[in-house]
Structure 1
């Protein structure tokens, strides 16, 4: 099959992107015909490669030459298929256009169904989906592919000649190999990915290696399973004797479960080091290749080493949470609303998430505030580039944060609240709605429906289908390694962190299909009302709104610097 989403769904997604991205590219190429900002460096380096000059290198460029090699291949194909040989920056921008319209949706259309299949195996939903021939789930997955491709910090660069789009594609190729278990292909794709951006090593080696290790060790020996709510001693003994990782679902987990899982992983590795080594060998090869490059180069970056020195910037792990919350506001609103508004004050249709407040959680909350305040006070790094360039939105955000001496401390609770919402969302959407309304919609008279209708004051909770604690730990570790080492705060640096968070965000909600007297038509109707996540529509509208606003600011709200009269400066991420 051409795409795991199905030809029809994939065609619709591609056509939508084709129209939207084509308009964006045409507007940019019409308004901004000369290379802008970092495009200047990338464009001139690409011209050298297209002239078969592979030895000359601009010392201001920090990333490896993957973009220019891909441009060389793309231009060669263009000459063969279209007879075009132009090297204007407006033509080079078509590389990211083609990736955004064709390559990214195709690859995401392969990845998301595989993640959904894992969900089916875990929660045994395939029998429900088969009744509608997978129609609506595929539509929801296709809608998710469309939304991810419209993600504003990524969408913006479909019409500019930057590295971010091709770099994201290269990491997703490695992830696809990881999901399919193709270890040799994974190593090759991982090495290719390092030619686009050095920080890809964290996602290709640490993130995917960690997931692979956890997935393999979760099986344990002789089918061992932990009892409900085990003690720390039970987890330690189980991990050592049976090499079995303790892994609770995010929805059910308390803070102590995160600590237990971390200890469990460490002990399971120590108890079977050779097994762990065999599992992560492909990722060790990637780390070895990257380490060899750093030793040979004398630095992580190729050029401009003085302005790109790796440092410990812990505040980056505070900034990532409002970043995720802002862009994923439509997907996180149930947790944001239910976290501050009492359930009794909300309509039944909006009671999604029950906030469980434990004494441990209160202690952890205050501990987070204390640590975060210390990080803000002692480790807030403002790179000279941030406050020297008013063309980027981060300039204005940091100027606001630093305008008042106490403001940067007052927003710390916001970081914590956003973090709770983003992590809780990975546990799935717990609905307390009365799904017995299906009886009224379908006219299905069942004993179960009668009981549900008679207990509307106590509607049944629907168990979420979310991620486990170990995924959160691996994702957090990788995000920290990727961001904490960067002194410069840029939205582009967080694209992959958001992407892997969003890929794992549960979208298809628990089904409430009738058990007796049902038919395909009624089940399809129930599936649409209970399983299709209507937040996807809000997410599409939100992303399009942001893209229109940022696009308008970039194209039509340019300004001039006094020291550079006649040169239009434009706002961008």
Structure 2
């Protein structure tokens, strides 16, 4: 073989390192430039919306603002019986008001809404996402997740979802990056997980997921995971038992506290229990996966991906038919249409349900099962390439959990699916904001499909920048559309004093 033929092989590793370095540098530059621009746009639109478009309490803000005002007035023992979530947001709102009302003449409502704007624009990208980005700079961009439509819509309103997400994902960040050393970081992670439950009770489920990650990332090193999945489950269990006090106990205390809350409250919701009864809303899982597939489209859409879906189903058509029949049975027997949804045309889900999902028999039982099937395939297959694989004999070379890549194993992948199911299925309401955490936890562990391109030196060079850029643009387009509908299409409710609008 001539030296000219050998050169490409010799340069493969060097060129790939250059690709990765270029991707990282591009990601840092995009975030440094994009963050101030997006922050100014969000800040300006927030000011216009909260002072001119909706300078009044909107939908559930009526309950949240009322409770916070009671705290501001010193009435700490009073509780609005219509509120379903714990008082985390109201305490934070009280704290923010006590500081800001000395410096501004803005209304109480605007000051309270600022809690979510500051959280989403400052704390979320810089405190929570930045450390994860430093560990996985070609996996996602913080400014993109800052712009995630289901979350960004609530930067303008006084809802629980923004800080619920910030705190539970910060729990994940601390558990993976260990900025204060292993012991302190794990306990702080558990503390953030506990505090997040005071904003939304279902975050206890994500405490379980984070605990599994904490155990798993140490068990795979100390017990040497291999390619036999059952053995890895045994090793995981043994390691959890052996290290109960350092790895399990911090999160177990959260679960004990939550169990005591359930015993005392006799329900997962605090108020309005008749309209928030836990059930088995199976089709909600497919709603969630469909939203996730749509929002994540820029990171997976390709001719090869669509071809793999067709190949899978055409290769085994009988399996495909049985899977569709299973989805149809879930639609038939585990669909819950809450009276609130049918009566409230201020949410996109009202129109999705009436115009598409349950429009007629063909839409409900022929079109939507196919959509749900593809969404499920997407949810699983986008993760698959990023799942860790282990050698049947050789030990793990990495010796510290903090040095492991931000990836799942077959154990945490399974738990992620179960946690997503447990988060959304019990809820009778078709609420896209319940899909924020399933999407975020999924997105942090997947990567955009790399775009391979032909090079004279080597044909295996790649770039993810284009897909990550399209993902950001995609979110911005959805946010712009959402704001346009919200601002331009108000309507009257005879039972309400002010104009009503459409949001998530």
* Map of 2:272 onto structure 1: 304
Whether 2:127 is the aligned partner of 1:90: answer no
Q: How does 1:32-111 map to 2 (within 5 A)?
A: 32-79=54-101, 83-84=103-104, 87-111=107-131
The range that moved more, 399-408 or 388-397, is 399-408
Whether 2:73 is the aligned partner of 1:23: answer no
Alpha-carbon distance change, 103 to 492 in structure 1, aligned in 2, over 3 angstroms: same
Select the residue among 319, 323, 332 that pairs with 2:291.
323
- TM-score (ref. length: structure 2): 0.81
Deviation of residue 551 (structure 1)?
0.6
* Map of 1:557 onto structure 2: 489
Deviation of residue 424 (structure 1)?
1.4
2-structure distance, mates of 1:369, 1:493: 25
Select the residue among 416, 419, 429 that pairs with 2:373.
416
3-state SS, counterpart of residue 498 of structure 2: strand
Deviation of residue 366 (structure 1)?
3.9
Deviation of residue 423 (structure 1)?
1.9
Report Cα offsets for 1:266-287 as digits up to 9, x if no partner. Answer: x445666623745322221111
Select the residue among 452, 459, 468 that pairs with 1:536.
468
2-structure distance, mates of 1:190, 1:565: 38
Deviation of residue 224 (structure 1)?
6.4
Deviation of residue 150 (structure 1)?
0.6
Whether 2:502 is the aligned partner of 1:571: answer yes
C-alpha RMSD of the superposition: 3.2
1-structure distance, mates of 2:496, 2:194: 44
2:220·2:236 contact (CA, 8 Å) conserved in 1?
A: no
* Map of 1:338 onto structure 2: 304
Whether 2:317 is the aligned partner of 1:386: answer no
Report Cα offsets for 1:421-479 as digits up to 9, x if no partner. Answer: 222122349xxxxxxxxxxxxxxxxxxxxxxxxxxxxxxxxxxx975433321210100
Whether 2:188 is the aligned partner of 1:201: answer no
Whether 2:219 is the aligned partner of 1:217: answer yes
1:509·1:531 contact (CA, 8 Å) conserved in 2?
A: yes
Report Cα offsets for 1:261-316 as digits up to 9, x if no partner. Answer: xxxx2x44566662374532222111111111111111111110110111111111
- For the pair shown, which has the larger CA radius of gyration, 1 or 2? 1
Alpha-carbon distance change, 358 to 405 in structure 1, aligned in 2, over 3 angstroms: closer
Deviation of residue 403 (structure 1)?
2.7
* Map of 2:441 onto structure 1: 500
1:10·1:106 contact (CA, 8 Å) conserved in 2?
A: no
* Map of 2:282 onto structure 1: 314
2-structure distance, mates of 1:510, 1:160: 38
* Map of 1:190 onto structure 2: 193
* Map of 1:132 onto structure 2: none
3-state SS, counterpart of residue 530 of structure 1: strand
Whether 2:425 is the aligned partner of 1:469: answer no
Whether 2:324 is the aligned partner of 1:372: answer no
Deviation of residue 192 (structure 1)?
1.0
2:100·2:111 contact (CA, 8 Å) conserved in 1?
A: no
2:383·2:446 contact (CA, 8 Å) conserved in 1?
A: yes
Deviation of residue 189 (structure 1)?
1.4
1:10·1:109 contact (CA, 8 Å) conserved in 2?
A: no
* Map of 2:361 onto structure 1: 405
1:427·1:468 contact (CA, 8 Å) conserved in 2?
A: no
Q: Which has the higher contact order (CA 8 A, sep 6+)?
A: 2
Deviation of residue 495 (structure 1)?
0.3
3-state SS, counterpart of residue 46 of structure 2: helix
Whether 2:489 is the aligned partner of 1:548: answer no
1:558·1:571 contact (CA, 8 Å) conserved in 2?
A: yes
3-state SS, counterpart of residue 218 of structure 1: helix
Deviation of residue 491 (structure 1)?
0.4
2:299·2:447 contact (CA, 8 Å) conserved in 1?
A: no
1:47·1:87 contact (CA, 8 Å) conserved in 2?
A: no
1:269·1:276 contact (CA, 8 Å) conserved in 2?
A: no
Alpha-carbon distance change, 355 to 399 in structure 1, aligned in 2, over 3 angstroms: closer
1:559·1:570 contact (CA, 8 Å) conserved in 2?
A: yes
1-structure distance, mates of 2:135, 2:411: 16
2:313·2:320 contact (CA, 8 Å) conserved in 1?
A: no
Alpha-carbon distance change, 486 to 276 in structure 1, aligned in 2, over 3 angstroms: farther
Deviation of residue 172 (structure 1)?
1.7
Q: How does 1:420-431 map to 2 (within 5 A)?
A: 420-428=377-385
**Structure 2 stretches of 5 or more lacking a match?**
1-23, 387-405
Deviation of residue 9 (structure 1)?
6.4
- TM-score (ref. length: structure 1): 0.72
Whether 2:161 is the aligned partner of 1:159: answer no
The range that moved more, 420-429 or 283-292, is 420-429
2:31·2:143 contact (CA, 8 Å) conserved in 1?
A: no
Report Cα offsets for 1:345-365 as digits up to 9, x if no partner. Answer: xxxxxxxx6976499966654
